[in-house]
Amino acid sequence: MTIDTVHTAPYVARSADDSGYIHYPQEEHDIWRQLYARQAVNLPGRACKEYLQGLDALAMPKDRIPQLAEIDKVLMATTGWKTADVPALISFGRFFELLANKEFPVATFIRRKEEFDYLQEPDIFHEIFGHCPLLTNPSFAHFSHMYGQLGLNASKEDRVFLARLYWFTVEFGLLKPQEGELCIYGGGILSSPGETLYAMESQVPERKPFDLLDVLRTPYRIDIMQPIYYVIEHIDVLDEIAKMDIMAYVAKARQLGLFAPKYPPKAKKAS
């Protein structure tokens, strides 16, 4: 989920009818089918085992966009979470409020073919396919709940730093056991055919061991392939992070300031 307070998305979320059913045209189901089929090839050997276990548990349809009630049934039974339909981009406050209530925000639209590889706005494939499988995992679910509670009580300035923690874990986190291979747990990677291969195989990005203070000080851009990824040893590390005094680290990060960006500045649009 991308959180943004000013950006206006070019997509419009679809609303449910009175029974809670969302009607999608066939061409949008076709996009889901193509994305699912492509990631079904890309993810074995690249996605972490906890994600793949969650994907099996959800048993989501491969040929159509799932209804949120189908996902909720499994999430509620495993970790007590559910989904919440939202527009593409929501405020920090609303985002944290939902997570604090164990509701995962899902934008109910799907990307266009021209943005098949990478999408700046979080569509339903990103939310459902990328994130929801790991919400069946207790450590990931607990971390997400804690994060929502933390952000709900944080100041506007502190929330900007907390966004980096979410970005480099839930969205773009990598995992490497001591006796194992590098794999993906971040939903922003898992839902992006382009970034799945880039994060795992490209020699361009840095891959650094997770350090909370460093993460809070690392700037990012949402519209590019990531120049840096932070790596944890196993999914249970999220439980350890949840026990840390994160706001004390935020205060330290604010005092020290941000690292220099590892990406070029965004090009200005011609007037």
**Residue 202 falls inside a structural domain:** yes
**Lowest model confidence (mean pLDDT) among 6-20, 148-162, 246-260:** 6-20
What distance, in Å, lies between the first and last C-alpha atoms of the chain? 30
**Residue 192 falls inside a structural domain:** yes
Domain residue limits at 151: 26-256
**Residue 266 falls inside a structural domain:** no
**Residue 163 pLDDT > 60, yes or no?**
yes
- The answer to whether 142 is a known ligand-binding residue is no
Tally of domains in the chain:
1
Q: How far apart are CA 184 and CA 154, in angstroms?
A: 29
**Residue 4 falls inside a structural domain:** no
- The answer to whether 126 is a known ligand-binding residue is yes
- The answer to whether 234 is a known ligand-binding residue is no
**Residue 12 falls inside a structural domain:** no
Q: Is 227 helix (H, G, I), strand (E, B) or coil?
A: coil
Q: What is the mean pLDDT of residues 210-225?
A: 96
Average pLDDT, the chain: 93
> What's the CATH number where 202 sits?
1.10.800.10
**Residue 263 falls inside a structural domain:** no
Q: Is 55 helix (H, G, I), strand (E, B) or coil?
A: helix
- Measure CA 115 to chain center: 17
Tens of pLDDT, residue by residue over 5-59, are 333 347 889 999 999 999 999 999 999 999 999 999 999 999 999 999 999 999 9
**Residue 10 falls inside a structural domain:** no
**Residue 148 falls inside a structural domain:** yes
Which are the catalytic amino acids? 126, 131, 171, 191
**Residue 65 pLDDT > 90, yes or no?**
yes
* Residue 4 DSSP symbol: -
231 beta partners: 174, 209
